[in-house]
Amino acid sequence: MQTDISDTPETLLARVFGFPDFRPGQAEIVEAVRQGQDTLAIMPTGGGKSLCFQLPALCRDGLTLVISPLIALMRDQVRGLQEVGVAAGALTSGNTEAETDAVYSALAQGALKLLYIAPERLASAGTIDMLRRAGCSLIAVDEAHCVSQWGHDFRPDYLRIGELRRTLDVPLAAFTATADAETRAEIIKRLFGAGSPKIFLRGFDRPNIRLNFMVKNRPRDQILAYAQARRGQSGIVYCATRARTESIAQALSDAGHNARAYHGGMDAHTRRMVEELFQRDDDLIVVATIAFGMGVDKPDIRWVAHADLPKSIESYYQEIGRAGRDGAPADTMTLFGQDDIRLRRAQIDESPAPVERKSADHARLNALLGLAEATACRRQVLLSYFGEVSSPCGNCDLCTTPARLFDATTPVRKALSAILRTGENFGVGHLVDILTGTATPKVRDRGHDQLPTFAVGKDLSRAKWQAVFRQMMGRDLVRPDPERHGALRMTEAARPILRGDAEIHLREDSISTARDGPAPKM
């Protein structure tokens, strides 16, 4: 992979790592490390620390040395980097001789961007010289709490890092998930000596922001009602398309709100004007695509609504995070429905990305749908995605109104059977016709009124079947095939249920809010 140090971190994030967005906190840390500031970043496990030194390493001249205590982890990271074309290597006791030779020759040619070593290697004479010759320009220390003698993970060789830094005289970026103040002070003293690193210590929780998801049925009316209940407050409505921003902004204006559309297709002058109005007025609603927000730093945005499902948990977090920066209560509402799932799956399937990337994107979408279809505290689901453990928040829709679940094993098996008996060739509407025993011309023409599954689901309303299918899609039991007009295919995950080896419970409450019939288009 040719990386050019003039590439922006955002470009590299997408091109090399395949991530559409930074996780909370990453962008700031990446920027500080890229600029060569000494940094100490404390992030929960799973929060995405490695990216915070891997990405800057690609933006900087010279070699980044990564010190990490776990050989298996180092090897994983090196393999991951090599797979995406980054010149990375490791010197560990787990290396074969050939691997070690390859690393040394790459070092000699100045061809490595990242070199991982275990701390023990710092004890061997010659390591510092070798690093100097190799043009080491940044030191990254993973699991930096290992330098603390009071912690459980003390590694004596970590004490050599301070000297290494002084000798090489290069910036140092330290990372850990352990945040208590004593350990922090000790890390700073031992790694940075008299220096004072820039410290990033932020949990991901924004407790003043209320979380709320709703099943989409009449999105424009739902947004209008939501805005009506918050008349006079400043808010943002995020939409998936430019056309939708225009139509919703119009509907809000017609209802007497101070509202403006904002998207990347508008000329720069108009966009700047909307940004300024938003900053100035305290009651403006901006109806926008994701193009809106980067430069917006308004502390008193009171609410954020999503008319369409965001594209990932990362973007969701970023977008709702624009509300309530002043710490006062702020509200959010995210609409989601079958159409969103279909759209997002299709975007992934139709992208030119390689298969592994696509399957990672599907997994990320599954995580977002898991949040949308959560059955207990939403904030716990959100924070645990970022690696943070928390207790029920009391400030989300599911804490306020716990979800009612019902045993959906039988309906789900009926639905799967309808899908299989029709050759995985049909979309939700037709399948619901079959299950509810609705003999439409299409059903009769195909002879589907003769199937054993015809009318086996008469006991449930169409709305309830729609909700069952949506939740099945949300749990990735079935996937719409974009090449065949959203025909549903069964996934491996559904097999145990079909075989009768697993039960499934679905949400009752979101079902009752679904309206009969397919979601109307706006």
**Can you tell me which of 257, 379, 448, 464 binds Zn ion, judged by CB under 5 A?**
379
> Choosing among ligand ADP, Zn ion, none, which partner's interface includes residue 396 (Cβ < 5 to 8 Å by kind)?
Zn ion
Q: How far is CA 259 from CA 147, 249, 277, 522, in A?
A: 54, 6, 10, 18
CA 33 to CA 38: how far, in whole Å? Answer: 7
Is 386 near ligand ADP (CB under 6 A)? no
Asked if 399 touches Zn ion (CB under 5 A), the answer is yes
51 binds, among Zn ion, ligand ADP, none (CB under 5 to 8 A by kind): ligand ADP
CA gap 176, 144 in Å, rounded: 5
Does the protein bind Zn ion through residue 367 (CB under 5 A)?
no
Q: Which of residues 308-327 bind ligand ADP (CB under 6 A)?
A: 314
Closer residue to ligand ADP in complex, CB, 301/313: 313
**Contacting residue, 9, 24, 47, 337, with ligand ADP by CB under 6 A:** 47
Residue closest to ligand ADP (Cβ): 48
Query: Which listed option, ligand ADP, Zn ion, none, makes contact with residue 49 (CB within 5 to 8 Å by class)?
Result: ligand ADP
Task: Locate 420 and state its tokens.
Answer: 């299989």
Q: How far is CA 215 from CA 112, 262, 519, in A?
A: 50, 25, 10
- The region of 47-55, 280-288, 401-409, 506-514 touching ligand ADP under the rule CB under 6 A is 47-55
Q: Which stretch binds ligand ADP (CB under 6 A): 46-54, 328-336, 449-457, 500-508?
A: 46-54
CB contact set of 396 (below 8 Å; sequence gap of 6+): 210, 211, 212, 377, 378, 379
Distance of closest approach, residue 210 Cβ to ligand ADP, in angstroms: 24
**Interface mask (CB under 6 A) for ligand ADP, residues 26-45, using x and -?**
x----------------x-x
Least distance to Zn ion, CB of residue 210, Å: 9
Q: Contacts for 279-283 with beta carbons within 8 Å, 24 or more apart?
A: 281/234, 282/233, 282/234, 283/231, 283/232, 283/233, 283/234, 283/257, 283/258
The residue range among 48-56, 156-164, 466-474, 501-509 that interacts with ligand ADP, by the rule CB under 6 A, is: 48-56
Q: Is 48 in the site for ligand ADP (CB under 6 A)?
A: yes
Element spanning 370, H or E: helix 355-372
**How many residues at the interface with ligand ADP, by CB under 6 A?**
14
Taking the C-alpha atoms of residue 23 and residue 35, their distance in angstroms, rounded to an integer, is 19
CA distance 110 to 297: 42
DSSP string, 397-458: HHHHSPPPEEE-HHHHHHHHHHHHHTTT---HHHHHHHHHT---HHHHHTTGGGSTTTTTTT
Q: Shortest Cβ distance from residue 58 to ligand ADP (Å)?
A: 14
| Residue 396 in contact with Zn ion, rule: CB under 5 A | yes
Per CB under 5 A, does 320 bind Zn ion? Answer: no
Distance CA 454, CA 432 (A): 10
Decide which of Zn ion, ligand ADP, none touches 377; Cβ closer than 5 to 8 Å per partner kind: Zn ion
Per DSSP, 483 falls in state G
User: Strand 487-490 vs strand 478-481: parallel, antiparallel, or unpaired?
Assistant: antiparallel
Task: Give the SS3 label for residue 142.
Answer: coil
What residue 379 binds from Zn ion, ligand ADP, none (CB within 5 to 8 A, per partner kind)?
Answer: Zn ion
Binding site for ligand ADP (CB under 6 A): 19, 21-23, 26, 43, 45-51, 314
